[in-house]
Amino acid sequence: MSNKLTVGISPCPNDTFMFDAIINKKIDTKGLDIDFHLLDVEELNKKAFKNELDITKLSYFTYAQILDNYILLNSGSALGFNCGPLLVSKNKFDNDFINQIRIAIPGKNTTANFLLSYAFPKAHNKVDYLFSDIETAIVNEDVDAGVIIHENRFTFESKGLIKIMDLGEYWQGSTGFPIPLGAIVVKRDIPEETKIQFDNLLKESIQFALDNPESSKEFVKQHAQEMQDDVIQKHIDLYVNEFSLDLGIDGKKAVNKLINVTKELGMIKDQPERIIVEV
């Protein structure tokens, strides 16, 4: 097999921060020829269902549905405490009323949608939006509420919106685990040596970014939806952490918990038992 790999990531600051050193050749890529695609996470989720990219960022809820085709890497995850999606609106709603209102979601295959269903299993009046359009849809009253992710976590209050629920906090309080949001996965049929090589390369790229925080700023800002430097930095600080360098035992347990909950709630078809990290 050729060493050329197709790799999909999102343009969000945590991804561009972590992958900057690889994309811009700041570290030795060890002979790997990598073709990068920057796409919205829900578009990446859809491509993952079609098995289109060799290596890709995707939502953990999507990963739970495609265990037969992809393996989770140790490095590159967005996972942690107090970093989950927020359910926001212009008005305060009682929890019982959430089941009746029209809610914008950033894609049906996102972990954000999974968490909304986990907290409000009877809330079925959902509308798909590009994540960056959700705040505007709420402000314009096209929807009653919305689940926001990424940089919007830091900007919704400036748009006159209020938090109804931190869905990540709800997950943490209910399960005791950090919330697995996004993952980097690799096709199962990629040679084992290449899987390990890329996983190590990504860890090196993340460490380079952490050790040289100024190095990636121009590249990250070029692709960020919110251009304010402080918002970009808050985003990186929140979503790039010890779990990003190495998922570790606690991270693996959290991923297992999410997969088991999706099965318990009947949200996905039964999947074969898999070792969560195999590289």
* Catalytic residue IDs: 150
Question: Rounded to whole angstroms, how far apart are CA atoms 251 and 264?
Answer: 20
> In sequence order, what DSSP letters do the residues of 42-75 get, joined into one string?
HHHHHHHHTT--SEEEEEHHHHTT-TTTEEE-SS
**Which tokens sit at 203?**
């860890």
Q: Write down the residue that tokens 């849809």 correspond to.
A: 137
Question: Rounded to whole angstroms, how far apart are CA atoms 85 and 249?
Answer: 23
Question: Rounded to whole angstroms, how far apart are CA atoms 160 and 92?
Answer: 12
| Main-chain dihedrals φ then ψ at residue 179, nearest 5 degrees | -95, 120
Contact 6, 35 (CB under 8 A): yes
Q: Write down the residue that tokens 């195999």 correspond to.
A: 278
Largest CA distance in the chain: 56
> In sequence order, what DSSP letters do the residues of 88-106 get, joined into one string?
EESS---HHHHTTS-EEES
**Which tokens sit at 222?**
């070029």
